Amino acid sequence: MKAYSSIWNGDSWATQGGRVKIDWKRAPFAARYQQVNLRTCPWYSQGSTAQCSANTPANWWTAPAYSRLNYAQQGQLMWVRNKHMIYDYCRDSKRFKGAMPPECSLPLY
């Protein structure tokens, strides 16, 4: 199995509206993975990934501790958003011409 990542050019929208440019002279950009242990959900047909969302001990990520934030964690997340987030594509109606991605309608913490 192989895992891939991609670097995409977000110069015009993901860099403070294009104000911060990517320095392409520093290419090639490389990333390395070490000690990665992935549990995957193979796709065989429609619905075949349901095994990954089943509430079982093997699917530890379905436990409430991993799928919900408590009040203190919500406050920490808000602090990070306010101090460090420079772009939120769910607020970029200009980019999507009003047709926002479906995940943008989900509730935020």
Contacts of residue 36, Cβ cutoff 8 Å, sequence gap at least 6: 3
Instruction: Tell me how far apart the alpha carbons of residues 88 and 97 are, in angstroms, rounded to a whole number.
Output: 15
User: For the whole prediction, is pTM greater than 0.85?
Assistant: no
Whether the predicted pLDDT of 99 surpasses 80: yes
Residues 15-56 have pLDDT tens digits of 777 777 777 787 777 777 888 887 777 778 777 777 788 888
In 58-85, which positions are buried (b, 16+ CB within 10 angstroms) versus exposed (e)?
eeeeeeeeeeeeeeeeeeeeeeeeeeee
pLDDT band of 3, cuts 50, 70, 90: low
Q: Is the dihedral of CA 61, 67, 71, 76 positive or negative?
A: positive
